[in-house]
Amino acid sequence: MSTPLRPAPLRIAIAGLGTVGAGVVQLLAKNGALIAERGGRPLEIVAVSARDRTKGRGLDLAKIAWFDDAATMAREAPCDVVVELIGGSEGVARAVCETAIAAGRHVVTANKALLAHHGTALAASAEAKGLTIAYEAAVAGGIPIIKAIREGLAANRISRVYGILNGTCNYILTQMRKTGAAFGDVLADAQKLGYAEADPSFDVDGVDAAHKLAVLAGVAFGTKIDFAGVHVEGIRRVGAQDIQFARELGYRIKLLGIAELGAGGLMQRVHPCMVPLETPIAHVEDVYNAVVAEGDFVGRLVCEGRGAGAGPTASAVVADLVDIAHGRRPMTFQVPAGKLAEPARLAISARRGSYYIRLDVVDRPGVIADVTAALRDEAVSLASMLQRGRAPDERVPVVLVTHETSEAAMAKALARIAALGAVLEPPVVVRIESL
């Protein structure tokens, strides 16, 4: 009786052995048998590349070929798939992916910046050669949101996708609310804990979330990725008092990425939002991410989980490898790359909604009358106002909440308010989202 042939392993080359790359190696070593069973064949790392060969990583790499140059590895290693975990939209990361595709290898990546800037072109190149670009780990870490939207919601027209896409910002906003500490103090704490980089700009200025949102929008709406069309604001100007006022008003402040497709086009925006306490996303705390997709038949789908870290991100990378091992070849962005639509950009000026405005003003007669006159002249209706204490000729905070209005009208009113002599700082504005 003949012994059944053992299926050939899926041969993997990994570019980048940082937190996620090391996590992938450890995951495959620990759960290799389980993964082979679920993937239909073994997953074998045959080559790796990183900047420092001598660095202690706690990994057993003795039987794995080492390449000093990652692009050379992508071209020459005897592999079926190249896993790119270097990061960055240009340079080595881009060269690795383009070289791998040219050499006939599938690509798995966690690189949201690369996809946001070059995803459409990479998808076209890969699909022309019958190859896969898989990127579950690029958006929301361990949450399988790409698969959920691209496959689980394939029967639906999606009208809106939004979520908490950056764990660093969510941690900072959560801790500011829990402790009452200022933004700078909580950021420093996040850096000590490893939740924020030494240069936190990509996170706290909203760029990381914008990269992820652009990718999500491409998947959800079958459009070319349009990172340049994303309106981006970060959380640096959100103060502890804004978080306290939000609590009093029945909201929490979250940095959200929101993409909406309507008759006027695609609006993509990342900015701080006040979300009602009764919504699920208001209760997603610390470093967790959450993504919500709204389909015409399924309704609202909410996915929550860890958005970063070695374990969750490695889990998403290996899930993509299992799909490739099984021979599953979904389109990169819902439809063939050649059929991706050019999105009509809808500027944030077309948004309609309510607004929270905090002003630091000199407490003297006539100030509020001047502020409300600026709102009135731009047809912005005031819903409520909060003022704490009296301090003649000294700085006091005044909080205004508007009824629904247009972003364009609000911008004009704010410009007039900021020009008033009694307004001491640029207004802090947080959009209120009904969700």
Measured distance CA(101)–CA(141) in Å, rounded:
24
Measured distance CA(86)–CA(78) in Å, rounded:
20
Measured distance CA(358)–CA(85) in Å, rounded:
42
The residues near 278 (Cβ < 8 Å, ≥ 6 apart) are none
Q: Are 270 and 230 in contact (CB under 8 A)?
A: yes
Residue located via tokens 């914008």: 210
C-alpha to C-alpha distances, 388 to 209, 303, 357, nearest whole angstrom: 34, 39, 14
Torsion, Cα of 195, 192, 206, 114 (10° steps): -60
Measured distance CA(289)–CA(302) in Å, rounded:
11
Q: Are 234 and 204 in contact (CB under 8 A)?
A: yes
**165 backbone dihedrals φ, ψ, rounded to 5°:** -110, 0
Q: Are 346 and 262 in contact (CB under 8 A)?
A: yes
- Residue 83's closest CA among 109, 61, 65? 109
Q: What DSSP string describes 253-273?
A: EEEEEEEEEETTEEEEEEEEE
Q: Which residues are catalytic?
A: 212
- List 277's β-bridge partners, or say none: none
C-alpha to C-alpha distances, 192 to 104, 188, 195, 308, nearest whole angstrom: 42, 6, 8, 17
